Amino acid sequence: MQRLDYEPRFAATAIGSLPHTDVGRACRLMLDNLPEIPAWPQLPHRAFLENMYVQYSEGMPGVKVDLEAERIWFQVDGDLGDALATFYQAIIDEDLEHFAMSERYAAGLAAFLSGGYAGELSGRPLLKGQVTGPISLGLTVTDQAKKASLYHEQVEVAIVQGLTWKARWQVERLRAAAPDAGILLFIDEPYLVSVGSALIAVTGEQVVRDISDVAKGCGADLVGIHCCGNTDWSLVFDAGVDVVNFDAYDYMEGFIAYHERIAAHVESGGIIAWGIVPDDEKALSVGLEDLAGRLEEAFDTLEARGVDRGLLARGSILSPACGLGSTTQDAAKEALAATAGLSTLMRGRYF
């Protein structure tokens, strides 16, 4: 899927969410700490509309949002047919603005695109955007009867198409803001940790198909998947994305068990994004040498199992383990500073 020849060499990025409510401070934090791959900030504490499952629902057919109760659901009865007709007509017409993310839903993105920060985006190798994945959104957002919306076939298809087009709108706007930068889009799939459970009626083929459809249709130069727990990583690799991002602080062993898939991924030019910096209060006290040691141990293990260490290093991105929206502002600031510091440290060792 890769459409951009890029070696990150331990470049730093973020997952997206921050605990801030001040858009300016959030943007400043991203731009100052992530000089090569800044991400626009998601601000879930600013408003319920910036919750990761609500943020991308704007314009989706049948979606209802109760701001007072802080609830979102798909209304699958009533006039869903009319809503679907309008939705698919927008796709047929390639009406990107139908899938726009308004400032109410994504203030950080609006600031990146047209606020006082747009002029700082040019000259960076990559700009990072993000979208909630179809599996996580479809299993978290239910219908009016509390049944997962992913279990309604027509809603599942609409979710996949809606996220694809919202991602495409986002990619096009980021590209317009900085024509000289490549665009990296992460598909955030925290719910992949539950795939395979007897309680979740989702097949591996469904996971690969739905994620692949979003990845192939979004138009980004590089597409990644973020999952912040243990999962069947073969499904992630099967989805054919360019970047695989995982929580390397707490789940390193489970990931590197897939050493054959990791080797094939980096040999084909793929990138591993190591979420090695803790995403909570531990970020205030963790040492860079300790984090570097964890990475080196993983590299040692993978090299012993046949993974080319040089390719791995050249194809590595560093990030916090997960989004920082649920931690404190001090911890978030330190986590991003640690990610930037670790990037400098690892580059000094390898390049």
Where in the sequence is the domain holding 181, given as residue range(s)?
11-350
Angle 153-177/107-114 helices, nearest 10 degrees? 30
pLDDT, residue 38, reads 98
User: Residue 17 forms beta bridges with which residues?
Assistant: 42
pTM of the model: 0.96
Q: What angle do CA 193, 186, 47 make, to 5 degrees?
A: 85
- State whether residue 89 is helix, strand or coil: helix
d(CA 55, CA 42): 9
pLDDT, residue 248, reads 97
Within a domain: residue 4? no
Could you report the per-residue pLDDT of 157-197, keeping only the tens digit for each? 999 999 999 999 999 999 999 999 999 999 999 999 988 78
Distance of CA 334 to the CA centre of its chain: 20
Within a domain: residue 117? yes
Could you report the per-residue pLDDT of 85-128, keeping only the tens digit for each? 999 999 999 999 999 999 999 999 999 988 778 889 989 999 99
Within a domain: residue 22? yes
Token readout for 231 is 């999962």
pLDDT, residue 1, reads 54
DSSP per-residue letters across 213-259: HHHHHS--SEEEEEE-S---HHHHHHTT-SEEEEETTT-HHHHHTTH
Positions in the chain short of pLDDT 50: none
In angstroms, the Cα distances linking 335 to 23, 25, 87, 317 are: 18, 15, 40, 15
Domains contained in the chain, number: 1
Within a domain: residue 155? yes
Which residue matches tokens 């009865």?
A: 77
How would you classify the pairing of strands 126-132 and 182-188? parallel
Dihedral sign of CA atoms 277, 278, 279, 285 in order: negative
d(CA 71, CA 182): 36
CATH code of the domain in which 32 resides? 3.20.20.210
Going by the DSSP 8-state scheme, the letter that residue 146 receives in this structure is S
Within a domain: residue 2? no
